[in-house]
Amino acid sequence: MGFIKKLKINNFQSHKNTEITFDEGLTVILGPTDQGKSAIIRALKWVLYNEPRGTDFISVGSNLCRVTLEMDDGTVITRERTNNKNRYILIKNGKKQIFEGFGNVVPVEITKAHGIPKIYLDKDSTCTVNLAEQLDGPFLLSENAGVRARVLGRLIGIHIIDAAQRLTINDLSNAEQQSKTIKSEIEEINLKLKEYEDLPLLKQKIDTLQSIVKELKEKNLLYKKLTTIKDTFSSCNAEIKTLQATLKKLETVSQAEFLVEKIDFAMKVKTNLIDRKLRLKSIENEINKEQNNIEKTEKLEEASSYHNQAYEFYLRLKKLLAAKEIIVKMDSEISTFKKVLEKTRNLNHTVSLVNQLERSCEKLSELKKAKEMKSKVESQINRLNLELEKFKSIEKLDDFINEASSLNQKLSSLISYKHALNEVEASITKGQAFIMQNNKDLTSLASKYAELLRKLSKCPTCMNSIDDARADQIAAEILKSGG
């Protein structure tokens, strides 16, 4: 156990700021009355044991009370209290810990740090052997004999023996009480058991009866099973006889089933051929429409040649119109020169006029040639106009050409339709032959089926009786519905 090395008191009762250094061993505080000796002990108890409680020990005029202990190993324990704060601060090995909300007890870490706990004399009394106040007597001398005995006993471990003795006495007392209770219960049970002394004999009888009952149950179950098997066997024999008779009557049913399957296949083929026939009719209608369109476009090649010839005439006409414009300009120049010649006819033959006249003569010769060309062009224009009158509807040729191209596409599709039509016609021819053969087979199968029904005299599905008239009626319905 260590010892307190230093004590610091701040604002605790009469101590504003007090610091006391202790030596190792016993410390006695001496001094006049009312000088704060008891306050030092109270401050120590407040830090070590959380006593007293409350805030009455805070010095008047202060809000904070603090007491600090410094132990010989360097551990520092500080207790702080304000009106709204109550905590321990532990600094050990350079690590700081704060404890709050500990209530009326001292944190275990604080008690372990200072090593000065209270000594418990028994479960109801404690003793602070390390502190003594001013009016306290010497340790144990002021206590009564019982307390001194308990303390001395604790010092040498007698309290453990006393506790063990008390527990042993209690256990013995409880055991004796339980023993008496158990003995009385045993006596009562023995009295009740006398009523069941014949239980072994009864058990033997019960075991014998149980074995007999078990054997009876097994034999009863076996009897029920045998009865059920017998009934099942009888019904199976009767059913076997019935089935054998039915099988004799239905020896030809497999052949009838084959015929029915064949009839079903024939009906499917017939339905397929009917669909193809309807498609063929629609294709024939399309072919008729396209043939009408082809008849309308028979002269398409002639119209195309007319279009090409008209386009050539148009190009030639365009050239002639350009030449005509040149000739018109030349005519205007010729008329101008004629006027000049008339004005200069009576003038002297000067050099300038001669030169001008020579140039005019040259132009005149050129103009004559142009006039001749003009006459030729006009004749060609007239001839082209006559040709153009024949092609007044040339503007509609583009529409005809577009229509012709679309008709050409339709013609290609008609050719493909024609090939498809030929294939369909071939398929129809084969299908018609197949239908005729199937109709013959169907008639034969229906008659055979009616003959089978007459022989069986019963329906193979519902097992109702069938006479000859009903068999003929069924065959007629098969032929009417096509199978």
Confidence bin at 420 (pLDDT 50/70/90): low
Q: Which residues, 6+ apart, have CB-to-CB distance to 410 below 8 Å? A: 290, 293
pLDDT at 254: 56
Instruction: Tell whether the model's pLDDT for residue 167 goes beyond 70.
Output: yes
Instruction: Tell whether the model's pLDDT for residue 378 goes beyond 80.
Output: no
What's the mean pLDDT in 243-260?
62
For the entire predicted model, the pTM comes to 0.36
What's the mean pLDDT in 360-365?
59
pLDDT, one tens digit per residue, over 193-239 is: 887 777 788 888 888 888 898 888 888 888 888 888 888 888 888 88
Q: Cα separations (Å) of 11 from 33, 57, 77, 100, 390?
A: 20, 8, 17, 20, 140
Q: How far apart are CA 467 and CA 475, in angstroms?
A: 13
Residue 46 CB burial class (10 angstroms; 0-12, 13-18, ≥19):
buried
What's the mean pLDDT in 443-447?
76
Instruction: Tell whether the model's pLDDT for residue 312 goes beyond 60.
Output: yes
269 vs 20, higher pLDDT? 20
What's the mean pLDDT in 232-258?
71
pLDDT at 220: 87
> CATH assignment of 4-117?
3.40.50.300
Lowest mean pLDDT: which of 171-185, 203-217, 228-242, 356-370? 356-370
Q: How far apart are CA 370 and CA 226, in angstroms?
A: 141
pLDDT at 304: 60
pLDDT, one tens digit per residue, over 50-102 is: 888 888 888 888 888 999 999 988 899 999 998 888 899 999 988 999 998 88
Q: Are strands 76-81 and 65-71 parallel, antiparallel or unpaired?
A: antiparallel
Lowest mean pLDDT: which of 117-121, 165-169, 211-215, 268-272? 268-272
Residue 88 CB burial class (10 angstroms; 0-12, 13-18, ≥19):
buried
pLDDT at 152: 80
432 vs 405, higher pLDDT? 432
Please write down the long-range contacts of 119-124, taking CB distance under 8 Å and 24 or more positions apart.
119/151, 119/154, 121/147, 121/150, 121/151, 121/154, 122/150, 122/159
Instruction: Tell whether the model's pLDDT for residue 350 goes beyond 50.
Output: no
Q: Which residues, 6+ apart, have CB-to-CB distance to 63 below 8 Å? A: 82, 83
Of 66, 69, 56, 71, whose CA–CA distance to 24 is shortest?
71
SS3 content of the chain, % helix, strand, coil (to 5): 70, 10, 20
Tell me which DSSP letter residue 350 carries.
Answer: -
pLDDT at 430: 74
Q: Which of 135-149, 316-330, 338-352 has the highest mean pLDDT?
A: 135-149
242 alpha-carbon distance from chain centroid? 61
Dihedral angle, C-alpha 18, 22, 28, 29, nearest 10 °: -10
Tell me which DSSP letter residue 341 carries.
Answer: H
Confidence bin at 118 (pLDDT 50/70/90): confident
Instruction: Tell whether the model's pLDDT for residue 440 goes beyond 90.
Output: no
Question: Kindly report the CA angle at 203 between 199 and 205, in degrees rounded to 5?
Answer: 120
pLDDT at 88: 92
Q: How far apart are CA 260 and CA 153, in angstroms?
A: 119
**Percent of the chain having pLDDT more than 70?**
63
Q: How far apart are CA 41 and CA 50, in angstroms?
A: 12
Q: Cα separations (Å) of 314 from 59, 97, 152, 199, 309?
A: 134, 118, 152, 144, 9
What's the mean pLDDT in 381-404?
58
Q: Cα separations (Å) of 439 from 254, 263, 272?
A: 21, 9, 15
Q: Domain boundaries in the chain? A: 4-117, 162-197, 198-249, 269-443
Dihedral sign of CA atoms 115, 121, 124, 130 in order: negative
pLDDT at 392: 52
Confidence bin at 329 (pLDDT 50/70/90): low
pLDDT at 253: 54
Neighbours of 150 (CB within 10 A): 19
Q: Cα separations (Å) of 303 from 225, 297, 315, 361, 388?
A: 105, 10, 19, 52, 15
Instruction: Tell whether the model's pLDDT for residue 349 goes beyond 60.
Output: no
Could you tell me the end-to-end alpha-carbon distance of the chain, in angstroms, rounded to an integer?
120
**Percent of the chain having pLDDT more than 90?**
9
pLDDT at 91: 92
Contact at 8 Å (CB) between 80 and 90? no
pLDDT at 363: 60
Instruction: Tell whether the model's pLDDT for residue 156 goes beyond 90.
Output: no
pLDDT, one tens digit per residue, over 454-480 is: 777 776 666 677 788 877 877 777 766
Q: How far apart are CA 341 and CA 335, in angstroms?
A: 10
What's the mean pLDDT in 415-427?
67
Lowest mean pLDDT: which of 83-92, 326-335, 439-448? 326-335
pLDDT at 68: 94
- Phi, psi (deg, nearest 5) at residue 18: -120, 140
Contact at 8 Å (CB) between 414 and 443? no
Instruction: Tell whether the model's pLDDT for residue 299 goes beyond 90.
Output: no
Both tokens of 305, joined, read 């040649």
Q: What is the mean pLDDT of the chain?
A: 75
Confidence bin at 241 (pLDDT 50/70/90): confident
Instruction: Tell whether the model's pLDDT for residue 8 goes beyond 90.
Output: yes
pLDDT at 359: 60
What's the mean pLDDT in 32-42?
85
